Amino acid sequence: GFRGCRRAPPSRVNPLLVGMSSSLTDAPATSESPKSPFKSVCVYCGSSTGNRPEFVHAAKALGEALAHRGVRLVYGGGSVGLMGAVSTSADKCGGKVLGIIPTALEPVEVSGDAVGEVVVVKDMHERKAAMASASDAFIAMPGGFGTLEELLEMITWQQLGYHSKPVGVLNVGGFFDLFLSFLDQSTESGFIRPEARAIVVVGDTPETLLDALEKYKAPVSLIHSLAKESKVE
């Protein structure tokens, strides 16, 4: 269950410090919580709650799991939808929270009241770059266009070798089944290499997904593979 810890008031952070390791970036693990190799995990999810209760339940459980492992949550800021559920849960359970939000979405009328630390950036491009830089792994939960776009960008960047950070999906109630089937079809059709298909780590619960992400090893980049193959030819 949740600890029901008091929520600390949000504070503004210098965007230049987002990717730096400091007391701001490190969330202390409790003695009974498992030690994680991750200092920060980025969560992409909907700014709506969806129409199935399990979506919100899973978001709260993920926030709690991150807090109990001493892992800082990095997310898109605000307190609406699943984004609000995961951040509020992490905050109440004693975890560190960093919300990165563009100026246009900052007003309370749009995104609600934030928790934890808040960084305001110029636009969506800066937001995504800051979230990626500040995180050691990425998790996508149910969401819409924005969630899918952010997830696919992290997968693509790893395929090309721009990063080796684990990327996972929390497949709540089979939400991502059709997406995963599409990836399988694209692999079978010759558009995605099998080693690149394996970039996407899947878990049905926060704990199983986090365990799998912590064991993940990135494949050789597509650019490196193509260069090697061209030399063989």
Written as one string, the DSSP assignment of 171-222 is -GGGTTHHHHHHHHHHHHTTSS-HHHHTTEEEESSHHHHHHHHHH--PPPPH
Q: pLDDT value at position 21?
A: 36
Position 112 pLDDT exceeds 80:
no
- How far are the Cα atoms of 116, 164, 182 from residue 74, in angstroms, in the given order? 10, 18, 28
**Closest among 142, 159, 140 to 151, alpha carbons compared:** 140
Q: Return the higher-pLDDT residue of 4 and 131.
A: 131
**3 pLDDT tier (thresholds 50, 70, 90):** very low
DSSP annotation of 165 reads: -
Pairwise CA distance, residues 77 & 4, whole Å: 21
**31 pLDDT tier (thresholds 50, 70, 90):** very low
Q: pLDDT value at position 109?
A: 53
Q: pLDDT value at position 110?
A: 66
62-71 pLDDT, tens digit each = 999 999 999 9
**Closest among 230, 184, 177, 183 to 204, alpha carbons compared:** 177
**22 pLDDT tier (thresholds 50, 70, 90):** very low
Phi/psi of residue 74, nearest 5 degrees: -110, 130
**30 pLDDT tier (thresholds 50, 70, 90):** very low
Pairwise CA distance, residues 85 & 55, whole Å: 9
